[in-house]
Amino acid sequence: MLLSDFIVAAAETFNVHPRDLASHYKFDFLMRPRFALYKALRLRGWSYPQIGRALKRDHTTIIYGVSRADYYMERDAEYAEKIRQLVELKYEIEEVPQAEAA
């Protein structure tokens, strides 16, 4: 499964358009799904910089998003379950970005 396929799966899980999920729009209805995407990738073993490079965001944005996802997971069992479903997808993401050699 490519990263783009994983984004589509996350978008379908949260009923948003994949293009919007990967965009830089800051509409409220996109933030929780986007944070869930960050959290799911993190739980699949991606580092903060890898997620940031793949989604064209700074790694500190990813750190913040994962912390917000943790907050929502503690308070919303349905949200937590959706993230668990994403993490348990039986596919491996093939395009884990590597750090560029200096």
Predicted confidence (pLDDT) per residue in 26-83, tens digit: 999 999 999 999 999 999 999 999 999 999 999 999 999 999 999 999 999 999 999 9
pTM summary value: 0.84
The amino acid occupying position 101 is A
Contacts of 26 (CB under 8 A, 6+ apart): none
Task: Kindly report the CATH number that applies to the domain delimited by 3-87.
Answer: 1.10.1750.10
